[in-house]
Amino acid sequence: MNVAALIATAAQVVMVVAGAPLLVGLMRQTRARLEGRAGAGVAQPWRDLRKLLRRAPATPTGTGWAFGLAPLLLAGTSLVLAAVVPLLTTASPLDRAADLFAIVGLLALGTVTLALAALDTGTAFGGMGASREMTILALVEPTILVAVFALSARVGSTNLAQIVTTTLQDPLRVASPASLLAAAALVIVVIAETGRLPVDNPATHLELTMIHEAMILEYAGRDLALVELAASMRLTVLLGLLSSLFLPWGIAGAGLGALPLALAAFVAKVAVLAVGLSAAEVFIAKLRLFRVPELLAGSFVLAVLAVASSFFLA
Amino acid sequence: MTDISYPLYLDLAAGVFLLTAVGVLWRQQLAAMIRLFALQGAALAAIVAILGIHQHDVELVLVALGLGVLRTGALPYLARRALGNSPAETRETRPVVNVAASLLAAAALTLLAYAVTRPLVALSPSPATAILPAAVAVVLIGFFILVTRRRALSQVIGFLLLDNGITATAFLAAAGVPLIVELGVSFDLLLVVLVLQVLTTRLRTAFGSSDLDELRELHD
């Protein structure tokens, strides 16, 4: 474990924490502009967070430890994810933990704690949101694991840094059918995991079909700020993960010299992905809840095809 | 086209070929199914053209051109005309197997195609035979669409998918069929679509919908 890698990883964590609300702001601003509204500005999520952080959290009567623990655990897993995933550098000191299965486990841990907290409140909305989130998680998990299998089969390792390095050495791999299919499957999975439009509507508080917002309805003050920050960090890390797996150019190795370039490349890639995602969201409506399994079954098929093609084209 | 990039282009075309078949299974809008079918015809023509350019075979390139005109132009055009304008007819509303289950079935069929074609691929491993499983998978998916859809038009598209898969299998496994056979098959296909177009129109005037389940009972 050397100093350069530590600095690079620290820079990565700071960048994700500071940049995540700005990313959400960018997505909202893009959407607002495309809809012909002025928008609140890119920094509005940070202003919201500052306002929420000044307020005391309120705990509903009768809730137990799950409700209090969830924001901390969600934020904690998001921080670990931000440190582990190779966004700026492949030489992270946590390299041994940067296993795709471990990352999927961390993501699921955050989701499950939030669902438990929602059940803990005992409200109708909380229970509904939790059950929906679990349905989606149960359908998303196999897709992620199969897509991961397709990506790791050609490298021979599920270590993220190794996958990224191999792709950097052989850029034509990205254009192979296995990689393209896995990319399409993972994009759908990321949309479902982060509660973006065809699956969940992030802009509403008052809709019977909401999922994420239904789970965090009872949070207030600092706790809400933590949950919101963690949700935006997960979005940033997942978009960063997509860009690292399929567009890995610019990621630095062990040295510190390439770090500024890596930072610029990361910001550009994630911003392009986010603007594209929110621009696409303008044109689509939310799917009915009962049609979400169709979408996720489709992404599962894409992942299976990715695995199949990585074998029969090998 | 260099020899190094030849497998890459072939793989990409085969990927699009298989993906459009899954897309036809996924979408319920008949217009979208026709668009995907046209895209698949383009992918098939691309596969044949790539094979022809690689083997420096002018006849194959010409066949590819003909395939492209027939399967991205003529057949989708005829299918779209059979679609008509009535709003009740634009969706495949109640397939026999629901969409999520049929997508999972498509995944299973692809794996089956891979397992079945392994001995064939092992006979002469080459970039062309390596994508044989994709072609066989399209045959199976086309057959699946044919048996699980109710609308006449989506059954036609299933049939055309089946034929796309058979054509691709022929070109990949046997380096093409004689030109006269390919021409015969193409005319056959055109006639089938024309006949089915007439059938769809008659069905719609007789029953008000093109649901083939209406044909179960005999009337005088």
Dump the DSSP string for chain A.
--HHHHHHHHHHHHHHHHHHHHHHHHHHHHHHHHTT-----TTHHHHHHHHHHTSPP---TT--HHHHHHHHHHHHHHHHHHHHS-SSBS--TTGGG-BHHHHHHHHHHHHHHHHHHHHHH--HHHHHHHHHHHHHHHHHHHHHHHHHHHHHHHHT--BHHHHHHHHHH-GGGGGSHHHHHHHHHHHHHHHHHTT-TTT--TT-SS-TT-SHHHHTTT--HHHHHHHHHHHHHHHHHHHHHHHHHH--TT-B-S-STTHHHHHHHHHHHHHHHHHHHHHHHHH-PPPPGGGHHHHHHHHHHHHHHHHHHHHHT-
In chain A, which residues have their Cβ closer than 8 Å to the Cβ of B22?
Answer: 298, 301-302, 305
Convert the pLDDT of each residue in B113-154 to its tens digit.
Answer: 988 988 888 888 888 888 888 899 999 999 999 888 888 788
Q: Which positions in chain A touch B8 (Cβ < 8 Å)?
A: 172, 175-176
pLDDT at A14 over 60: yes
Question: What pLDDT, on the 0 to 100 scale, is given for residue A112?
Answer: 92
Q: Which residues contact B79 (CB under 8 A, 6 or more apart)?
A: B34, B37, B153, B156, B157, B160, B193, B197
Q: Which amino acid is at A20?
A: A
Spatial distance between the Cα atoms of B88 and B53, rounded to a whole number of angstroms: 45
A312–B130 C-beta distance less than 8 A: yes
Which residues does chain A have within 8 Å of residue B133's beta carbon, measured at their own beta carbons? 308, 312
Check residue B41 and give its pLDDT. Answer: 93
Query: Which chain A residue has its CA at the smallest distance from B11's CA?
Result: A177
Give the whole-number percent of chain A exceeding pLDDT 70: 97
In this prediction, residues A45-71 reach a mean pLDDT of 90
pTM metric for this prediction = 0.84
Q: How confident is the model at residue B220 (pLDDT cuts 50, 70, 90)?
A: low
Q: What is the mean pLDDT of chain B?
A: 83
**Would you call B130 and A175 a contact, using CB atoms and an 8 Å cutoff?**
no
Q: Considering only residues A4 and A238, tell me which one the structure prediction assigns the higher pLDDT.
A: A238
Candidates A310, A75, A69; CA nearest to A185 is A310
| Among A175, A293, A308, beta carbon nearest to B110 | A308
**Is B20 within 8 Å of chain A by CB?**
no
> Is the model's pLDDT at A49 over the cut of 90?
yes
B100, A297: Cβ pair inside 8 Å? yes
Q: Which of B88, B113, B51, B116 is nearest to B204 (CA)?
A: B88
Nearest chain B residue to A311 by CA: give it: B114
Whole-angstrom distance between the N-terminal and C-terminal Cα of chain A?
36
Q: Using CA atoms, how far apart are residues A42 and A22, in angstroms rounded to an integer?
A: 6
Q: Residues of A with CB below 8 A from B97's CB?
A: none
B114 near A CB under 8 A: yes
- Please list every residue in chain B whose beta carbon sits closer than 8 Å to the beta carbon of residue A307: none
Residue that wins the pLDDT comparison between A300 and A98: A300
pLDDT tens sequence across B35-88: 999 999 999 999 989 888 888 888 888 888 888 898 888 888 888 887 766 666
Count of CB pairs separated by less than 8 Å, A with B: 62
Q: What is the token pair recorded at A302?
A: 């894409």
Q: Residue B198 corresponds to which amino acid?
A: V
- Six-digit token string for B211: 């649901």
Tell me the shortest Cα–Cα distance from B131 to chain A, in angstroms. Answer: 7
Choose the mutation target among A296, A309, A310, A311 for the interface with B, i.e. most B CBs under 10 Å: A309
Q: How many CB atoms lie within 10 A of CB B66?
A: 16
CA–CA separation, B172 vs B130, rounded Å? 9
Average pLDDT value for residue range A36-62: 90
Neighboring chain B residues of A313 at a CB cutoff of 8 Å: 11, 130-131
Q: Which two tokens stand for residue A13?
A: 């964590």
CA distances from A156 to A59, A147, A181 (A): 48, 14, 18
| Residues on chain A touching B121 (C-beta within 8 angstroms) | 312
Tens of pLDDT, residue by residue over A18-38, are: 999 999 999 999 999 999 999
A311 contact residues in B (CB cutoff 8 A): 114
Which residues 6+ apart lie within 8 Å of A188 measured at CB? A143, A295, A296, A298, A299, A302
CA–CA gap between residue A210 and residue A200 (Å, rounded): 6
Residue A270 has what pLDDT?
A: 92
Q: In which element (H, E) is residue B72 found?
A: none
Nearest chain A residue (CA) to B28: A294
Query: At a CB cut-off of 8 Å and minimum separation 6, what does A235 contact?
Result: A20, A23, A24, A194
CA distance B102 to chain A (A): 9
pLDDT for the residue A206:
65
| Side chain identity, residue A244 | S
Which residue from B26, B99, B130 is facing A313, i.e. has the nearest CB? B130
Between CA A284 and CA A197 the distance in angstroms is 8
Question: How many angstroms separate the CA atoms of A165 and A244, rounded?
Answer: 10
Indicate which of B11, B28, B121 best probes the interface with A, i.e. most A CBs within 10 Å of its own CB.
B11
Average pLDDT for residues B15-29, to the nearest whole number? 88
Measure B100 CA to nearest chain A CA, in Å.
5
Residue A249 and residue A265 in contact, taking contact as beta carbons nearer than 8 Å: yes
DSSP B124-148: S--HHHHTHHHHHHHHHHHHHHHHH
Compute CA distances A223 → A6, A20, A216, A228, B140, whole Å.
29, 17, 10, 9, 53
Chain B contact set for A292 (CB, 8 A): none
Mutate to test the interface with B, among A154, A170, A179, A301 (most CBs of B within 10 A): A301
Chain A positions touching chain B (beta carbons under 8 Å): 172, 175-177, 180-181, 293-294, 297-298, 300-302, 304-305, 308-309, 311-313
A313 to chain B: nearest residue by CA?
B130
| Residue range B9-21, pLDDT digits in tens | 888 888 889 889 9
Question: Distance between CA atoms of A155 and A314, rounded to whole angstroms?
Answer: 12
pLDDT digit string (tens) for A105-120? 899 999 999 999 999 9
Residue B112 pLDDT > 70, yes or no? yes
The mean pLDDT of chain A is: 86
Q: What pLDDT, on the 0 to 100 scale, is given for residue B28? A: 82
For A165-183, what is each residue's pLDDT tens digit?
Answer: 888 888 777 777 788 888 8
Domain borders along chain B are 6-216
